[in-house]
């Protein structure tokens, strides 16, 4: 069974750093893209970026380029989303998502359970 | 890619059919069959319902169908049920980039 299991919720202060994780199982981690989608409170979905663990190719959304870092450790089938200096506006639920490269249009066939990040002074 | 436009809300009675639109431009939706649709129940992660405009992943009810005409893609829910009440999002993915629509809240009256 394919699963994406994310790390738990976080409460941070503005200016702090943070790294959240997403562990894939039930499939060959290096053969599928894995990415991140933001959902701010009461708002819609926003694609942030994605990584191909096989070669670490990482396209970002222009809206998030330079604001976050996406990485992956294929030895432990885990992807990461990282901030160096959080802002209150980073408060959101972050979903990790999987994309099968055989499907066109970048559909995300599996989603993690979401990680709530709260940034407040 | 520009944002995709969806109606904020659509409603229908049980058993009816409803259609949600997703409008792009001639440069994206109008040219490429690369639209996906997601269903999101409150407090849950989204679920893929449709990809490549009209293909259903395994396990998705055939009450969900989708198509495209010109710059607008559409998701139709037939035989509306209470469990279909949720938010629905379209997306367009091309050239290593993905954009979502603003989402449509479906209410079952």
pLDDT in tens, A26-38: 999 999 999 999 9
Residue A115 distance to chain B (closest CA, Å): 10
* A102 confidence band (pLDDT: 50, 70, 90): confident
3-state secondary structure of A105: coil
pLDDT of B1 reads 66
| B8-45 pLDDT, tens digit each | 999 999 999 999 999 999 999 999 999 999 999 999 99
- The pLDDT of A50-70, averaged and rounded, is 96
Q: Smallest Cα–Cα separation from B30: which of B2, B83, B69?
A: B69
Share of chain B above pLDDT 70, in %: 99
pLDDT of B2 reads 73
A15 pLDDT more than 70? yes
User: Is A111 close to B99, i.e. CB distance below 8 A?
Assistant: no
* A100 confidence band (pLDDT: 50, 70, 90): confident
Which is it for strands B9-12 and B104-108: parallel, antiparallel or unpaired?
Answer: parallel
A106 pLDDT more than 80? yes
Distance CA A35, CA B9 (A): 28
Residue A106 distance to chain B (closest CA, Å): 5
A63 pLDDT more than 90? yes
Residue A87 distance to chain B (closest CA, Å): 23
User: Is A44 close to B101, i.e. CB distance below 8 A?
Assistant: yes
Distance CA B32, CA A5 (A): 33
Q: Show the tokens assigned to B99.
A: 């954009």
The H or E element containing residue A72 is strand A69-73
Q: Which are the contacts of B94, defined by CB distance < 8 A and separation ≥ 6?
A: A105, A106, B1, B28, B32, B34
User: Is B89 close to A45, i.e. CB distance below 8 A?
Assistant: yes
Pseudo-torsion of CA A4, A8, A69, A77, nearest 10°?
-30
A93 pLDDT more than 80? yes
Residue B92 distance to chain A (closest CA, Å): 6
User: Is A106 close to B101, i.e. CB distance below 8 A?
Assistant: no
- The more confidently predicted of residues B39 and A101 is B39
- For chain B, give the number of residues: 109
- Check: CB of residue B39 under 8 Å from CB of residue B33: no
Q: Smallest Cα–Cα separation from B2: which of B53, B50, B71, B52?
A: B71
Chain A residues in contact with B96 by the CB 8 A cut-off are 59
User: Is A107 close to B52, i.e. CB distance below 8 A?
Assistant: yes
- The pLDDT of B59-73, averaged and rounded, is 97
B3 pLDDT more than 90? no
Candidates B57, B98, B100, B104, partner chain A, best to mutate (most A CBs within 10 A): B98
User: Is A105 close to B93, i.e. CB distance below 8 A?
Assistant: yes
A89 pLDDT more than 90? yes
- The pLDDT of A98-117, averaged and rounded, is 95
């Amino acid at each position: 069974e394919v699963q994406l299991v994310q790390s738990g919720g976080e409460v941070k202060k503005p200016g702090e750093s943070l790294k959240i994780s997403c562990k894939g199982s039930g499939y060959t981690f290096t053969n599928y893209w894995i990415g991140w989608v933001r959902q701010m409170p009461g708002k819609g979905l926003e694609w942030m970026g994605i990584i191909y663990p096989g070669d670490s190719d990482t396209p970002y959304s222009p809206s998030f380029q330079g604001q976050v870092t996406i990485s992956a450790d294929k030895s432990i089938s885990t992807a990461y989303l990282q901030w160096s200096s959080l802002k209150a506006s980073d408060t959101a639920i972050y979903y990790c998502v999987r994309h099968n490269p055989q499907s066109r249009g970048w559909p995300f066939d599996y989603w993690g359970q979401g990680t709530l990040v709260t940034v407040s002074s | 890619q520009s944002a995709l436009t969806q109606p904020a809300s659509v409603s229908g009675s049980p058993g009816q059919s409803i259609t949600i639109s997703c409008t792009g431009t001639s440069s994206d939706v109008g040219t490429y069959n690369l639209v996906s649709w997601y269903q999101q129940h409150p407090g849950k992660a989204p679920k893929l319902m449709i990809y490549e405009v009209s293909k259903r992943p395994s396990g998705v009810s055939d009450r969900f169908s989708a198509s495209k005409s010109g710059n607008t893609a559409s998701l139709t829910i037939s035989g509306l049920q209470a469990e279909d009440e949720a938010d629905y999002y379209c997306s367009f993915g091309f050239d290593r980039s993905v954009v979502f629509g603003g989402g449509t809240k479906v209410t079952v009256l």
